[in-house]
Amino acid sequence: MTPNALVDDGILEICIVKDMSLPKIFVNLPRAITGSHVSIQETTIFNTGSYTMLLEKPAYIHLDGETYSKKATSVSVELSPHKLRISV
């Protein structure tokens, strides 16, 4: 969803997609695979070290492709540099 994100730059890249009609979602969904969705008017991408989103009504949140089991009223994310070690 964030084609320019780097795993080791210490920057969190956020992609927010505003409401769009179901037909427009189906037309543009393949663009998310190629990364060209960033030019869609409803898409905003920005960089930050942390981000908090307050929801107007409780909603299910997807974490790494999995649905979190409880409805959330807010979501906060932040980077913790050097906390995850990856061996290749």
Mark whether 59 and 76 lie in a shared domain.
yes
Mark whether 64 and 41 lie in a shared domain.
no
Query: Which of helix, strand or coil describes residue 88?
Result: coil
Report CA-CA distances (Å) from 37 to 9, 13, 17, 43, 54. 22, 15, 10, 7, 24
Mark whether 14 and 31 lie in a shared domain.
yes
Per-residue pLDDT of the chain (88 residues; tens, 9 = 90+): 888 888 878 888 988 889 999 999 999 999 988 889 888 999 999 999 899 999 999 998 887 778 877 889 998 888 887 776 767 6
Total domains in the fold of the chain:
2
Mark whether 42 and 19 lie in a shared domain.
yes
- Domain assignment of residue 69, given as a range: 50-80
pLDDT at 46: 92
* Domain assignment of residue 88, yes or no: no
Mark whether 1 and 44 lie in a shared domain.
yes
